[in-house]
């Protein structure tokens, strides 16, 4: 007991030190902004913050806007948003040194002088990538991840790291070290996750361009919940350090940008898909940004669906897809219904079983020595249970709560032979999905996106609601999010009749999580085939414009 008490005390001391570092970071930001304002009292920060990224980038490159003005304008705004939402974990003080060096750069990259924010889990040299784990504190990264190296070579200035949920397996944003991050649009709502710090900071205007990762919607949830845009590329189109995660295939993780508008995402992809990216990581296919595809004005043939028949869409989600379908048809595009089948099998058998193929052993090992696991108590109990108990529990619960039964069954430990069969089955599913896509001769797909933002604490109870996003991690298709409407009083009224497809505890809880959301943004997903990020962005731009 004494040893356990001492170990816990030591861990709490590490947490306290990390929180003090976070507070010091905010003080450093405040002092830096104060110094700048004293030296340049006439600078109009508001006009700088109102510039969209393409225009800001152009002004920085042609010298009509000084680098310091832009940098300190965003440091000041980021400080304000961090104070309101608790989204920043660390200020990268070396960004001020990089700012001074940038002035004497010979070759100006596409993102010259642009301040960018980086998700906690993406390595920045000399800084922790905690993933919300206490054990990862005081273990600074030896070098920048590939995506950060390319950003620096393109002239961008990473200036802050942002908050994440513990382990990244959540679409909320809370951990024991840095606490809860709040939605900048409504503080009682979650900013989404796991790139929740990025969503809150970019959504609040404290960063013009952010970078996060996506393994089940981790970029798309924050963008949808905070009313901004994000792109999850094909898994290997961009690269970052993968050493922090404990799974890869079959649920494919990707790194991508998050910004206020689609043109900013396109500029970012132009900058990143360069020789530096291809040379630094030879596993990235050397496919530069295809300008011709992105700037095309040819009418598109667009598949669409309003529901996946697993998670019932909220009235606002359904209306968002219907309204966009009508607007796209009026603009001359062809809309074709696309039928999704067996999504429950995909979620349980491919996603859950694929991620926890060893019965959850790797997952449990990540939490060894951590202080608190209460937010995932049920998952821990299931992961620790022997296979026979999982089988019996699954069988008993099937008539009453079929979805819970499916999750329990999927958490069984698999033999190597079963894992190979699962991988083969997923490949077959991908081929069938693409065959259905090709049969309908589609260019892109319009899909629902979970929204509006859920109340804080609810995403942890509603892990089943990731069905709309996780499908495209299994398929490894590029998928982007664009906000298209807001929740109306009529949507709120219609929500009173929401029952869900299973009428279980999860459906009732989701209805509660949606309530009281009038005025909050609702987005749609735009999807393309693998390696067609430019076409995906082109479709997103069309949706945004309409």
**Residue 405 included in any domain:** yes
Confidence of residue 49 (pLDDT cuts 50, 70, 90): very high
Rounded (5°) CA angle 342-325-496? 70
Domain identity same for 191 and 120: yes
How many Å apart are CA 332 and CA 299, to the nearest integer?
6
Tell me: is residue 482 an annotated ligand-binding position: no
Continuous segment of H or E residues that includes residue 88: strand 88-91
Domain identity same for 386 and 333: no
Domain identity same for 70 and 198: yes
Residue where a domain stops, chosen among 289, 304, 321: 289
Which structure tokens are listed for 344?
């429950």
Predicted pLDDT at 326: 98
Residue where a domain stops, chosen among 413, 440, 459: 413
Q: Average of pLDDT values for 91-109? A: 90
**Residue 420 included in any domain:** no
How many Å apart are CA 166 and CA 181, to the nearest integer?
12
Tell me: is residue 194 an annotated ligand-binding position: yes
What stretches of 376-432 adopt beta strand conformation (E)? none
Given the structure tokens 């698999």, which residue do they identify?
414
Confidence of residue 368 (pLDDT cuts 50, 70, 90): confident
Residue among 254, 216, 207, 188 nearest 197 (CA): 207
Per the prediction, the chain carries an average pLDDT of: 94
Predicted pLDDT at 242: 52
User: Radius of gyration of the chain from Cα atoms?
Assistant: 23
Which range among 311-315, 318-322, 382-386 shows the weakest confidence by mean pLDDT?
382-386
Domain identity same for 132 and 239: yes
At 359, is the secondary structure helix, strand, or coil? coil
**Residue 524 included in any domain:** yes
Predicted pLDDT at 107: 79
Confidence of residue 371 (pLDDT cuts 50, 70, 90): confident
**Residue 250 included in any domain:** yes
Examine residue 452 and say whether the peptide bond preceding it is cis (omega within 30 degrees of 0): yes
Q: Average of pLDDT values for 429-442? A: 98
Confidence of residue 502 (pLDDT cuts 50, 70, 90): very high
How many Å apart are CA 83 and CA 105, to the nearest integer?
34
Tell me: is residue 359 an annotated ligand-binding position: no
Confidence of residue 251 (pLDDT cuts 50, 70, 90): confident
Which structure tokens are listed for 397?
């619960």
How many Å apart are CA 290 and CA 349, to the nearest integer?
36
Strands 88-91 and 444-448: unpaired
Residue 71 pLDDT exceeds 60: yes
Predicted pLDDT at 103: 80
Predicted pLDDT at 400: 87
Q: Which region holds residue 275: left if phi is over 0, alpha if psi is between -120 and 50, else beta?
A: alpha
Domain identity same for 189 and 311: no
Cβ contact 514:498 at 8 Å: yes
Q: What is the pLDDT of residues 117-148, one digit of tens each?
A: 999 999 999 999 999 999 999 999 999 999 99
Residue 520 pLDDT exceeds 50: yes
Q: Report how far apart, in Å, the C-alpha atoms of 120 and of each of 132, 319, 373 are.
A: 8, 35, 20
DSSP designation for 386: -
How many Å apart are CA 176 and CA 190, to the nearest integer?
16
Tell me: is residue 216 an annotated ligand-binding position: yes
DSSP designation for 155: T
How many domains is the chain built from?
Answer: 3
Domain identity same for 268 and 403: no
Residue 465 pLDDT exceeds 60: yes
Q: Greater confidence, 197 or 355?
A: 197
Q: Average of pLDDT values for 450-463? A: 95
Domain identity same for 99 and 193: yes
Which structure tokens are listed for 513?
């999580």
How many Å apart are CA 346 and CA 352, to the nearest integer?
9
- Cα separation of the two ends of the chain: 64
DSSP designation for 21: H
How many Å apart are CA 191 and CA 502, to the nearest integer?
27
Q: Report how far apart, in Å, the C-alpha atoms of 70 and of each of 96, 278, 351 are.
A: 12, 30, 42
Q: Average of pLDDT values for 318-347? A: 97
Confidence of residue 470 (pLDDT cuts 50, 70, 90): very high
How many Å apart are CA 502 and CA 368, to the nearest integer?
35
Continuous segment of H or E residues that includes residue 158: strand 157-162
Cβ contact 197:89 at 8 Å: yes
Cβ contact 219:232 at 8 Å: yes
Residue where a domain stops, chosen among 247, 267, 289: 289
**Residue 499 included in any domain:** yes
**Residue 511 included in any domain:** yes
Q: Average of pLDDT values for 240-269? A: 82
Domain identity same for 277 and 307: no
Predicted pLDDT at 518: 98
Which structure tokens are listed for 444?
């892109």
Domain identity same for 316 and 374: no
Domain limits for position 322: 296-342+427-545
At 205, is the secondary structure helix, strand, or coil? coil
Tell me: is residue 75 an annotated ligand-binding position: no
Domain identity same for 236 and 253: yes
Q: Average of pLDDT values for 253-260? A: 96
Q: Average of pLDDT values for 142-167? A: 96
Q: What is the CATH number of the domain that holds 492?
A: 3.90.1300.10
* Length of the chain counted residue by residue: 546
Residue among 439, 468, 428 nearest 338 (CA): 439
Distance of CA 67 to the CA centre of its chain: 29
**Residue 60 included in any domain:** yes
Q: What is the pLDDT of residues 219-232, one digit of tens each?
A: 999 999 999 999 99
Q: What is the pLDDT of residues 279-312, one digit of tens each?
A: 999 999 999 999 999 999 999 999 999 999 999 9
Predicted pLDDT at 244: 47
Continuous segment of H or E residues that includes residue 82: helix 67-85
Residue 57 pLDDT exceeds 50: yes
How many Å apart are CA 406 and CA 400, to the nearest integer?
12
What stretches of 167-285 adopt beta strand conformation (E)? 174-175, 179-180, 209-214, 229-232, 254-259
Tell me: is residue 155 an annotated ligand-binding position: no
DSSP designation for 352: I
Q: Which residues are marked as active site?
A: 119, 194, 218
Task: Give the count of beta carbons closer than 10 Å to the beta carbon of residue 374.
Answer: 9
Domain identity same for 152 and 15: yes
Predicted pLDDT at 383: 86
Which structure tokens are listed for 297?
């004005």
Write the DSSP string, 433-484: HHHHHHHTT-SEEEEE---SPPBTT-GGG-GGGGHHHHHHHHTT--EEEEEE
Confidence of residue 248 (pLDDT cuts 50, 70, 90): low
**Residue 241 included in any domain:** yes
Domain identity same for 261 and 377: no
């Amino acid at each position: 007991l004494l040893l356990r008490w001492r170990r816990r005390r030591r861990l709490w001391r590490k947490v306290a030190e990390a929180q003090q570092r976070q507070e010091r970071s905010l003080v450093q930001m405040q002092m830096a902004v104060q110094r700048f304002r004293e030296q340049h009292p006439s600078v109009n920060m508001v006009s700088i913050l109102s510039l969209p990224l393409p225009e800001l980038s152009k002004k920085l490159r042609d010298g009509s806007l000084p680098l310091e003005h832009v940098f300190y304008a965003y440091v000041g705004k980021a400080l304000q948003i961090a104070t309101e939402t608790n989204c920043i974990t660390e200020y990268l003080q070396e960004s001020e040194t990089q700012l001074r060096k940038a002035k004497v750069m010979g070759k100006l990259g596409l993102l010259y002088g642009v301040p960018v924010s980086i998700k906690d889990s993406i390595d920045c040299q000399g800084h922790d990538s905690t993933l919300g784990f206490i054990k990862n504190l005081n273990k600074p990264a030896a070098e920048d991840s590939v995506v950060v190296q390319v950003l620096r070579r393109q002239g961008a200035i990473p200036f802050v790291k942002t908050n994440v949920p513990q382990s990244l397996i959540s679409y909320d944003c809370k951990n024991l070290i840095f606490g809860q991050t709040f939605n900048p649009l409504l503080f009682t709502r979650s900013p989404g996750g796991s790139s929740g710090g990025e969503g809150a900071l970019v959504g609040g205007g404290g960063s013009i361009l952010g970078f996060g990762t996506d393994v089940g919607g981790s970029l798309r949830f924050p963008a949808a919940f905070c009313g901004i845009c994000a792109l999850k590329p094909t898994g290997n189109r961009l690269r970052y350090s993968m050493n922090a995660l404990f799974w890869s295939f079959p649920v494919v993780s990707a790194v991508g940008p998050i910004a206020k508008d689609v043109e900013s995402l396109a500029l970012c992809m132009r900058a990143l898909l360069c020789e530096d990216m291809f040379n630094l990581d030879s596993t990235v296919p050397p496919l530069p940004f295809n300008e011709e595809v992105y700037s095309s004005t040819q009418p598109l043939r667009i598949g669409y669906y309003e529901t996946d028949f697993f998670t019932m869409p909220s009235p606002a989600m359904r209306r968002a897809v219907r309204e966009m379908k009508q607007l796209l048809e009026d603009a001359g595009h062809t809309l074709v219904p696309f039928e999704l089948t067996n999504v429950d099998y995909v979620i349980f058998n491919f996603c859950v079983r694929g991620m926890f193929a060893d019965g959850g052993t790797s997952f449990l090992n990540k939490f060894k020595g951590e202080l608190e696991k209460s937010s995932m108590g049920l998952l821990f109990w299931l992961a620790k249970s022997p296979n026979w108990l999982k089988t019996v529990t699954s069988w008993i619960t099937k008539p009453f709560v079929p979805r819970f039964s499916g999750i329990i069954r999927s958490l069984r430990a698999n033999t190597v032979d079963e894992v190979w069969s699962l991988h083969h089955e997923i490949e077959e599913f991908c081929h069938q999905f693409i065959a259905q896509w090709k049969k309908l001769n589609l260019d892109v797909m319009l899909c629902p996106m979970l929204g509006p933002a859920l109340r804080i604490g609810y995403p942890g109870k509603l892990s089943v609601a990731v069905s709309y996003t996780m499908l495209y991690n299994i398929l490894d298709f590029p998928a982007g999010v664009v906000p298209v409407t807001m929740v109306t009083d009529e949507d709120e009224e219609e929500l009173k009749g929401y029952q869900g497809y299973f009428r279980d505890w999860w459906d009732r809880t989701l209805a509660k999580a949606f309530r009281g959301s009038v005025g909050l943004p609702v987005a749609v997903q735009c999807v393309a085939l693998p390696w067609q990020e430019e076409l995906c962005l082109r479709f997103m731009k069309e949706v945004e414009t309409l």
